[in-house]
Structure 1
Amino acid sequence: MSLHAHRGRDRGAARRGALRASSRALPLRACPRMAGARGAQVNGNGAPRFQEGILEALSNAPGVSGGEEAIRALLADCARERVDSMEVDPMGSLVARIEPAKSSRGAGRSRGGSRRGGGPHVMLCAHMDEVGLMVTAVEKEGRLKFRRVGGIDPRILPGQPFRIGPRAVHGVIGALPPHLVPRADRDKVTPADDLYLDIGASTREEAEERVSVGDYAVFDTTYEGWGTTRKGKAFDDRAGCAVLASLIQRRPPVPVTAVWSVQEEVGLRGAAAAARRVGPDLAIVLEGTASGESPGSPLEEQYPY
């Protein structure tokens, strides 16, 4: 998605009431593939080295908007030994504070009059959530009806495999086969409301033993390396989350608040709430967008620019 496409998102999100914080304790389980993030590796220019293992773990984990718990747990485990404080805000975003290196500290006041040192207070933000589906009904034949969470193009849905709910039940999007569709409708995009998830169940009771109404579903895609290219789901914005998690492996020269936000795909909600709560002097958002390499892309969206 191009960056300017976000401008039309829900402007009323910031005026809505904050979600209640979960009563469940925040799990901080280590991920073996993220073990490399424990060392503060740096590039030749002194910048922290990107930790690809973090991206792989984040890409493979589920985290549809409103259900970012697994992503938050991975990031908290990666970050907690590198930050000075960490909390989960009322929206569910993970917020970590990192004071500057001692050599960079100095006297000063940030916006609002609070003491700080080493330059402006910077907020770095990347969103944890991804687009996906939510199960809305279980039909008597065992099929699952769903609604889209975030901006999923209905053209790509038929035939797509998904992992559903906390048990990662496998399912696939089904629709009428072409030879049963009227000829005049065969070239039309099937509305999402006419599609269903098939998990191989033949009755409602069988399906309900495996999934529940309200369960989220994520694309069943596994992270892979194809030469210098990486394939996976949710690079928007797990790539930004991994960059931010890599950056904090080294203490910054200025005060930094790292925010891994929730519910970006349904209205920029977590970032808007965090920005008001943190009150930084400036903010930098680490976001994914289209590669600009697809044939037919508008000139302003093409790469190289």
Structure 2
Amino acid sequence: MDAKLDFSILKTLTELPGVSGRETAVREYLKNLLKDSADEISTDTLGNLIVFKKGTSDKNLLFCAHMDEVGLMIHFVDERGFLRFVTVGGIDPRTLLAQRVRVQTKSGALLGIIGTKPAHITTEADRGKAVGIKELFIDLGLPADEVKKRVAPGDWAVLDRGYEEFGDGKISAKALDNRAGVFVLTEVVRALKNPFYNVYAVFTVQEEVGLRGATTAAYGVKADVALCLDTTGAADIPGCAPQDYICSLGGGVGLTALDARTITPENLLNELKQICDKHNIRWQVRVAPRGGNDAGAVHLSKTGVLTCGLSVPTRNIHSNVEIISKQDLENTFRLAYWAGQNGLKV
């Protein structure tokens, strides 16, 4: 099947707020988008969205794609109205300095600017150390009493940066990890017609803080095989040696051989490679000694599930200027669709 993806859906997905544990806006959008493409839609206790499509066989395929994004949670409002925060998920503090955020409160979202002590008044000691989370604050531009009325510890903030298409088929936005995987899975669900498998497309929560949604969701599905759609770091940039790239933009869908949480069974990995070769789907092997994704939880559920992570290479991962390739999205979609529609010989 030729990939004809609706990238306006990806744009909308990246613009929605959805820090780990606060994925409601993403879930409600997907529920409405997919209601006419599913046989059943449900939400479990933890907040995973489970979309079911009846197949022509008695075999079950579990797809996972996590809805959550890394972000911030407010833990202190000082006497001048500046906000102190902790990170939700793994964020390098270097990527936060002088950036915009949207603080999510009961009365609505507030624009904030992340600041620190300006360079022209730093000391020699300041300049000799890296800026950490404790040196950063959020400035809402409001009087302190107004801030204290509207913001409380436990409120959260999302990175703020718009969706842009640029260069040769590249996309930059916040939350491409993992709205890119979510986007691919929505398009797979919309495209499947009388699939071989009974397909359970699960949009999971809280992946960025420990694969929590996938851990519970996998126990609710008796899966014969599972494919987890996510992004992966692409270190194909200056300063990194080729042997450390993990994956490269434009290199195709990343087939996980190994990461810190999973080792893909040989028969499943070989089957996916053969499908790609037969149908001219561009692929690359992902070997990542650090990191993991929902596959790490899924493959350990019950007595074990044949599981592979399908990864979209992403530069600047866990920042508000993540970069992916449209071609990689299309190749990931084509493989996931083929597997669901036609079945895997495993």
What is the TM-score with the length of structure 2 in the denominator? Answer: 0.67
| 1:49–1:246 contact (8 Å) kept in structure 2 | no
What corresponds to 1:254 in structure 2? 197
Query: Which of 171, 179, 184 is residue 243 of structure 1 equivalent to?
Result: 184
How many angstroms does 1:208 deviate by? 2.4
Deviations 1:102-135 (A, max 9, x none): xxx24xxxxxxxxx3xxx3100010000000011
Identity, in percent, stands at: 39
**Separation (CA, whole Å) in 2 of partners of 1:292 and 1:189:** 22
SS for the counterpart of 1:266 is: coil
SS of 2:154 mapped into structure 1: coil
CA distance in 1, matches of 2:216, 2:103: 29
Name the structure with the higher strand share.
2
Alignment check: 8 A CA contact 1:48 1:247 kept: no
* Counterpart mapping for 1:7-46 below 5 A: 45=1
Q: Tell me how far 1:286 sits from its aligned partner.
A: 0.4
Identify which of 50, 68, 72 aligns with 1:95: 50
Does residue 141 of structure 2 align to residue 200 of structure 1?
yes
Q: Which SS does the other structure have where 1:289 is aligned?
A: strand
Q: Contact 1:65–1:262 (CA<8 Å) still a contact in 2?
A: yes
CA shift for structure 1 position 48: 5.9
Between the aligned partners of 1:215 and 1:171, the Cα distance in structure 2 is 13
CA displacement at 1:294 relative to structure 2: 1.4
Equivalent residue in structure 1 for 2:18, among 63, 86, 108: 63
Residue 149 (str. 1) matches residue 88 (str. 2): yes
Structure 1 runs of 4+ aligned residues shifted over 6 Å read none
Q: Extract unaligned runs of 5+ from structure 1.
A: 1-44, 107-115
Give the secondary-structure state (helix, strand or coil) at the position aligned to 1:212: coil
Q: Is the 8 A contact 1:125 1:284 kept in 2?
A: yes
Matches within 5 A, 1:91-170: 91-100=46-55, 105-106=56-57, 116=58, 120-166=59-105, 167-170=108-111
Q: CA deviation at 1:302?
A: 4.8
d(CA) in 2 for partners of 1:274, 1:293 = 34
Alignment TM-score, normalising by the size of structure 1? 0.76
Q: 1:31-73 CA deviation, whole Å, 9 max, x = no partner? A: xxxxxxxxxxxxxx3x563221111111001000010000001
Q: Distance in 1 between matches of 2:53 and 2:172?
A: 32
Asked if residue 189 in structure 1 is aligned to residue 144 in structure 2, the reply is no
- 1:234 aligns with 175
2-structure distance, mates of 1:226, 1:187: 36
Which whole-Å CA distance do the structure 2 matches of 1:170 and 1:135 have between them? 14
Which sections of structure 2, spanning at least 5 residues, go unmatched? Answer: 252-283, 285-346
Letter of the 2:163 counterpart:
Y
Q: Does 1:74 align with 2:29?
A: yes
Distance 2:174 2:235 in 1: 18
Q: State the Cα deviation string for residues 147-189 of structure 1 (Å, max 9, x = none).
A: 1100000111211110111422100111111232221331421
CA contact (8 A) 1:61 1:70 kept: yes
Aligned to 1:223: 163
Question: In the alignment, which residue of structure 1 is the partner of 2:120?
Answer: 179
The amino acid of 1:200's aligned partner reads G
RMSD: 1.6
Q: Which residue of 2 aligns with 1:213?
A: 153
- 1:269/1:79 CA distance change after superposition, 3 Å: same
Which letter does structure 2 place at the counterpart of 1:90?
A: T
Deviation at 1:202, TM superposition (A): 3.3
Matches of 1:129 and 1:302, distance apart in 2: 22
**Counterparts of 2:34 and 2:88, CA distance in 1:** 28
